[in-house]
Copies of this chain bind each other. A is one copy, B any other.
Amino acid sequence: MTTVTAQPAKGDTQAAQQRRMLREMLLIRRFEEKAGEAYALGKIGGFCHLYIGQEAVAVGVSAALEPTDYVIASYREHGQALVRGISARAVMAELFGKSTGCSGGKGGSMHLFDVAKRFMGGHGIVGGHLPLATGLAFAIKYRGGDEVCACFFGEAAVNIGAFHEALNMASVWKLPVIFLCENNRYGMGTAFERVAAVTDVVEHACSYDIAAEVVNGMDVLDVQQAMSRAVQRARKGGHPTLLEVRTYRYMGHSMSDPLHGVYRTKDEVEEQKKKDPILQLSHRLRQDGAIDQAGLDALEAEVRAEVEDAVRFADESPDPAPEELTAHVLAD
């Protein structure tokens, strides 16, 4: 099974890179759809937060990163995990709670980890991983490394104290961390404007004297470019950046929540889908002649096969052994 690689190979043409990004977005989309099905079948338990609609963010960000860079995210992190190169098998198996999962079946959907891929988790407390990201960047600087740390979180986290404490220290200490606020407008059923005095998340950058940009999160190239600028600032001078990436989630907050309802209309969701990042990119690639229908079909087939293989693999994998219950509470 080929795994998705997050990085453009050296000497890659622009078209090839964009085709790769299209493939990555498609993989996330199909993966999440399957995860949704598996959840409905009871094969996945707990909370399961799908990334459908937001694919361009993880893909665009990842395209600007090196394999040695750290990525850390909230509980809505299947996409980021996949695009960083954790195999669909290992992610799906983790959702299924299997021993072959990327966290050995002990973390689940909200806690995907793969240290070899520098994917530092899936974290469940809103805002809680922003200090962790800052600490990873602290470690980079301490060691004199030139990696960066990319930290994904939702806009609702801006209202919680940890966001502010982390941004302040990242700026005071000039740490190479990029705060990626995926502003999908809602925290569960709450529209951001109902709970935030200022709805432009970038405004907060002024309070911390850090670079900031608003990014169109439905356009993977826009994301990639803004991220490249942020990465450059971080890698060179240890300057943190706050990117407000405007995006949209198509599904309910988690598999337990409704698609829409009082908090947003069906029309709004449908309207947003017109800006679908996958549609946009495939359209562009077709216009540029970088891909044709046959190419698209092949991609689709390839990705579907990869996801189906992942489901099969997860299904057939064993549960963790009972001894796993007490393993890894403490390290030696």
* Interface residues, chain A, with chain B CB atoms under 8 Å away: 159-165, 167-168, 171-172, 194-198, 203-204, 206-210
| Contact partner, A197, options B162, B203, B209, Cβ 8 Å | B209
Q: Binding site of A, secondary structure by majority: helix, strand, loop or mixed?
A: helix
Nearest B residue to A166 via CB reads: B161
Q: Are A165 and B159 in contact (CB under 8 A)?
A: yes
A198 touches which of B163, B165, B195, B208 (Cβ 8 Å) = B208
- Would B162 and A161 count as touching, CB distance under 8 A? yes
A178 CB → nearest B CB, Å: 16
Quick check: B160 and A172 within 8 Å, CB to CB? no
Most buried by B among A168, A197, A198: A197
Contacts of A198 in B (CB 8 A): 206-209
Minimum distance in angstroms from A137 CB to a CB of chain B: 15
Copies of this chain in its oligomeric complex: 2
The list of the 8 closest CB pairs from A to B, nearest first, reads A161-B161, A171-B197, A164-B164, A197-B208, A197-B209, A204-B207, A198-B209, A207-B207
Q: Shortest Cβ distance from A165 into chain B, in angstroms? A: 5
Residues of chain B contacted by A172 (CB below 8 angstroms): 194-197
Q: How far is it, in angstroms, between the C-alpha of A197 and the C-alpha of B167 when the chains are bound? A: 9
Subset of 5 A-B contacts with CB under 8 Å: A161-B165, A198-B209, A203-B206, A204-B207, A206-B206
Min CB–CB distance A21 → chain B (angstroms): 33
Smallest CB-CB separation from A172: which chain B residue?
B197
In the bound complex, CA of A172 to CA of B171 (Å): 27
CB-CB < 8 A to A195: which residues of B? 168, 172
Q: Are B165 and A160 neighbours in the complex by a CB distance under 8 Å?
A: yes
CA distance A207 to B160 in the complex (A): 13
Residue of chain B at shortest CB distance from A164: B164
Q: Min CB distance, A205 to chain B, in Å? A: 9
Min CB distance A293 to B, Å, is 48
Q: How far is the CA of A289 from the CA of B307 in the complex (A)?
A: 88
Q: Which residue of B lies closest to A210 (CB)?
A: B197
Query: Which of A162, A207, A210 has the largest count of B CB atoms less than 10 A from its CB?
Result: A207
Residues of B near A167 (CB, < 8 A) are: 197
Which residue of B is nearest A171, CB measured? B197
The answer for the CA separation of A159 and B208 in the assembled complex, in Å, is: 10
- Nearest B-chain residue to A174, judged by Cβ: B197
Q: In the complex, A195 Cα to B170 Cα: how many Å?
A: 11
A127 closest partner in B (C-beta)? B161
Q: Closest B-chain residue to A240, C-beta based? A: B197
Distance in angstroms from A263 CB to nearest chain B CB is: 17
Smallest beta-carbon distance A174→chain B, Å = 10
A51 to B162, CA, bound (A): 31
User: 20 new A-B pairs (CB below 8 Å) besides A172-B196, A203-B206?
Assistant: A159-B164, A159-B168, A161-B161, A161-B162, A161-B165, A168-B195, A172-B194, A172-B195, A172-B197, A197-B207, A197-B208, A197-B209, A197-B210, A198-B206, A198-B207, A198-B209, A203-B207, A206-B206, A206-B207, A207-B207
**Cα(A209)–Cα(B207), bound, Å:** 13
